[in-house]
Amino acid sequence: MNLVWFRNDLRLQDNPALHAAADRGPVLACYLLTPGQWRRHRMAGARVDFILRSLRYLSEDLARLNIPLVIEQANFFDDVAPVILSLAKRFKVSAAFWNEEYPLDEQRRDEAVADLLLASGVVVNRFHDRVIAPPGTVLKSDGRPYRVFTPFKRTWLQLADAGVPDILPVPAAQAAVPIPSSAIPETPAGFSTGVDPGLWPAGEREAMKRLRLFGRLKLKSYPEQRDIPAVAGTSILSPYLAVGAVSPQQCLRLALQHRQEAGEGAACWINELAWRDFYQHLVVAFPQICKGRPFKTETARIAWRDAPHDFERWCQGNTGVPIVDAGMRQLLATGWMHNRVRMITAMFLSKNLLIDWRRGEAYFMEHLIDGDFAANNGGWQWSASTGTDAVPYFRVFNPFSQAARFDPEGIYIRRFVPALKTVDTADLHDPLRLEKVRPSGYPEVIVDLKKSRLAAIAAFKSVG
Ligand SMILES: Cc1cc2nc3c(=O)[nH]c(=O)nc-3n(C[C@H](O)[C@H](O)[C@H](O)COP(=O)(O)OP(=O)(O)OC[C@H]3O[C@@H](n4cnc5c(N)ncnc54)[C@H](O)[C@@H]3O)c2cc1C
């Protein structure tokens, strides 16, 4: 028997581990719930719910191929290896197959599983599906990893252009095997969510539908629309990429297919896929990132403010800065936030409020349906100017100017902050005017923007 261990690759198409296992056949699939580790990694309830719903579709799709899906539990990653070994023994597994995950804890888990399986005579086969170019393949001419995105992208594009592999097909159905699939478990304790599952239909078919619609209807206008949070101008595929209901290769293929008519739109979207790969590569090349350390080591000495009350106001979207509050409320209501607003809210916390970016990083993970360690850490370190190739520390977004530029009519702000529905647009984008007409249900601006900007710059300067 060949065991495919599904993780964040919950799809049949373009799944190298499944494809290789099916070539050898017969196949048994497994998935492990690790609720203790998920808690430690601060996984959002919305994401856990999305995983469980995705598993339901995966199990049905696998059943059509006569592949049973066995679901087990191992509280922490440290407990995983014996559970996989026991599965391997129970079902007489001779070879195991999985697609790589790159953060340090996941790598350590997989090494332990591989060691135990190999010691028991089970062959281990590992593949790359989470990135377009596997970590270690995009290197500088001296063989070292890139720290800066633009040259990384240049080399990455050469690889991507040189030959995009064919999308792997769904394997053919195998002869039935006498192993029943597990029922999909209930949500583990501690992962409740207020996010409406109707906002995020799960499954591979849904992901492909969204990808194709994006390619047909939105890719062309992506460069103009991608920064406008009031419109759905981006693919909104991140939750699907995070659980692997769609692969980045499938996204790249689609962009290349539409390259002719979408022109700059395709290039611009491919650029985002490159950023995604870049951050995955960084966690492998610089694993200290996975230990809560900033990429720029000197920024570890910044005297972050201990301001629990301010942090709580930021978390709940009560800062009195409309675009920040709209973003934080979008996150709480939907489990997702527009990229432009992620940057604005992250920079506001780490610069204007001078609160440690790691607190914001953790809070995002606790709420994002698309929470992905590499992308989230990369986005936070970029915004907080602690990362490689981050925004320069002296470039602090003014959230009111950002709102005037990217939400000029205030449509996004009013959608998520109903207290501001009746405020004139010009007043929304000016802190002094807003204070004069501020509705009673909406708080005063939490901090003086000019002074806090200068304080942040000084804090960064002081550590060199
Ligand atoms: C502070 C902060 C935290 C973030 N946390 C996450 C996270 O936990 N998970 C996550 O998937 N993305 C994260 N991002 C990146 C980005 O905001 C989201 O990927 C994007 O908003 C998802 O929307 P979309 O699918 O419509 O993206 P599109 O614009 O359609 O882009 C397509 C795909 O490319 C990838 N992508 C796009 N932009 C980026 C980027 N800047 N960095 C890395 N990948 C990118 C995503 O997988 C996305 O689905 C974060 C960004 C910031 C600034």
Please, are residues 357 and 387 in contact by the beta-carbon 8 Å criterion? Answer: no
The tokens describing 90, both together, are 């129970």
CA of 375 to the centre of ligand 1 (A): 7
**Does the N-terminal peptide bond of residue 287 adopt cis geometry, omega within 30 degrees of 0?**
no
Boundaries of domain holding 324:
297-462
pTM comes to 0.98
Q: What is the dihedral of CA 389, 394, 400, 403, to 10 degrees?
A: -20
Residues 100 and 243 in one domain: no
Is residue 184 in some structural domain?
Answer: no
Decide if pLDDT at 25 tops 90. Answer: no
339 alpha carbon to ligand 1 midpoint, in Å?
6
pLDDT of residue 389: 87
Q: Residues near 326 by Cβ (< 8 Å), separated by ≥ 6?
A: 229, 317, 341, 407, 412, 413, 415, 416, 417
421 — pLDDT class (breaks 50, 70, 90) = very high
pLDDT tens-digit readout, 63-73: 999 999 999 99
Q: Do 75 and 6 reside in the same domain of the chain?
A: yes
Phi, psi (degrees; rounded to nearest 5) at 120:
-100, 10
> Residue 178: inside a domain, yes or no?
no
- CATH number of the domain that residue 35 is part of: 3.40.50.620
List 31's β-bridge partners, or say none.
Answer: 6, 71
- Candidate from 370, 382, 383, 412 with most ligand 1 atoms within 8 A of CB, to mutate: 370
Whether residue 194 lies inside any domain: the answer is: no
Question: Are 317 and 326 contacting, i.e. CB atoms less than 8 angstroms apart?
Answer: yes
Which CATH number fits the domain that encloses residue 409?
Answer: 1.10.579.10
Q: How close is the Cα of 80 to the center of ligand 1, in Å?
A: 29
Residue 322's pLDDT is: 98
> Which of 128, 144, 176 is the endpoint of a domain?
128
pLDDT tens column, 333-370: 999 999 999 999 999 999 999 999 999 999 999 999 99
For residue 59, what pLDDT band results from cuts at 50, 70 and 90?
very high
Q: Are 57 and 209 in contact (CB under 8 A)?
A: no
Out of 276, 281, 355, 363, mutate this one to test ligand 1's pocket (max ligand atoms within 8 Å of CB): namely: 276
Q: Are residues 138 and 74 in the same domain?
A: no
- Mean pLDDT across 379-397: 93
Q: Is the dihedral of CA 207, 213, 214, 215 positive or negative?
A: positive
The chain-wide mean pLDDT, for the chain, equals: 96
Distance 379 CA to ligand 1 centre (A): 8
CA dist 237 and 245 (Å) reads 9
Amino acid letter, 67: I
CA–CA separation, 396 and 219 (whole Å): 30
Ligand 1 closest atom vs CA 239: 11
Q: Ligand 1: which atom is nearest the Cα of residue 240?
A: 49
Considering only CA atoms, which of 183, 145, 138 is closest in space to residue 162?
138
Report how far ligand 1's centroid is from the alpha carbon of 178 (Å): 42
Per-residue pLDDT at 164: 79
Q: Cβ-count burial of 67 within 10 angstroms (0-12 exposed, 13-18 middle, 19+ buried)?
A: buried
Residue 315 shares a structural domain with residue 454? yes
pLDDT digits (tens, 9 = 90+) for 193-226: 999 999 999 999 999 999 999 999 999 999 999 9
Query: Of 81, 103, 128, at which residue does a domain stop?
Result: 128
Query: What CATH number does the domain containing 256 carry?
Result: 1.25.40.80
Nearest-CA residue for ligand 1 atom 47 is: 238
Longest dimension (CA), the chain: 74
Q: Are 101 and 8 in contact (CB under 8 A)?
A: yes
29 — pLDDT class (breaks 50, 70, 90) = very high
Q: Which of 272, 283, 359, 383 to mutate to test the pocket of ligand 1 (most atoms within 8 A of CB)?
A: 272
Residue nearest to atom 22 of ligand 1 (CA): 238
Closest ligand 1 atom to 345 CA? 1
Any idea which residues carry the catalytic annotation?
272, 275, 304, 339, 357, 380
Our count of domains for the chain comes to 3
| pLDDT tens-digit readout, 145-184 | 999 999 999 999 998 777 778 899 999 999 999 999 999 9
Distance CA 326, CA 345 (A): 10
Same domain as 319, residue 281: no
Distance 173 CA to ligand 1 centre (A): 35
Residue 266 CB partners (closer than 8 Å, separation 6+): 219, 255, 256, 258, 259
317 with 433, same domain: the answer is yes
| Number of the ligand 1 atom closest to the C-alpha atom of 370 | 9
How far apart CA 27 and CA 63 sit, in angstroms, is 11
Residue 242 lies in a domain: yes
Nearest to 396 by CA among 366, 352, 362, 430: 352
Q: 147 and 114, same structural domain?
A: no
Per-residue pLDDT at 390: 85
Query: Do the Cβ atoms of 354 and 459 come closer than 8 Å?
Result: yes
Atom of ligand 1 nearest to the CA of 222: 29
Distance from Cα 347 to the centre of ligand 1, integer Å: 16
Whether 88 and 143 map to the same domain: the answer is no
Q: What is the per-residue pLDDT across 100-150, written as a single tens digit (0 to 9) for each?
A: 999 999 999 999 999 999 999 999 999 999 999 999 999 999 999 999 999
Question: For residue 309, how many other CB atoms are within 10 A of its CB?
Answer: 8
Give the separation between CA 379 and CA 320, rounded to whole angstroms: 24
What is the H or E stretch that residue 47 is in? helix 45-64
What's residue 159's pLDDT? 83
Q: How confident is the model at residue 261 (pLDDT cuts 50, 70, 90)?
A: very high
- Residue 312's pLDDT is what? 98
| In a shared domain, residues 137 and 256 | yes
Phi, psi of 126, deg, nearest 5: -120, 140
Q: Identify which of 238, 279, 330 to mutate to test ligand 1's pocket (most ligand atoms within 8 A of the CB).
A: 238
Residue 54 lies in a domain: yes
Residues 379 and 240 in one domain: no
* Ligand 1 interacting residues, C-beta cut-off 6 A: 226, 234-238, 241-242, 272-273, 275-276, 279, 339, 342-343, 346, 364, 368, 370-372, 375-376, 378-380, 383
Residue 453 lies in a domain: yes
11: in domain: yes
Which one, of 130, 122, 205, 127, lies nearest residue 170 by Cα? Answer: 205
Is the Cβ–Cβ distance between 96 and 84 less than 8 Å?
yes
Residue 359 lies in a domain: yes
Beta bridge partners of 99: 127
Fill in the amino acid letter for 326: A
Q: How far is the CA of 240 from the centre of ligand 1 (A)?
A: 11
- Range 248-253, long-range pairs (CB < 8 A, 24+ positions): 248/130, 248/131, 248/132, 248/273, 248/276, 248/277, 249/14, 249/129, 249/132, 249/164, 249/165, 249/167, 250/13, 250/14, 250/167, 250/208, 250/211, 251/211, 252/132, 252/160, 252/164, 253/164, 253/167
Helix, strand or coil, per DSSP, at residue 325: helix
Could you say which of 257, 285, 313 is where a domain stops? 285
Structure tokens at 322: 């409309």
CA atoms within 13 A on the CB side of 166: 4
Is-contact 387 393, C-beta < 8 A?
A: no
Q: Are 308 and 449 in the same domain?
A: yes
Co-location of 146 and 271 in the same domain: yes
CA distances to 33, 219, 320, 400 from 108, in Å: 17, 38, 43, 44
Convert the pLDDT of each residue in 302-335 to its tens digit: 999 999 999 999 999 999 999 999 999 999 999 9
Ligand 1 nearest atom to the CA of residue 365, by list position: 8
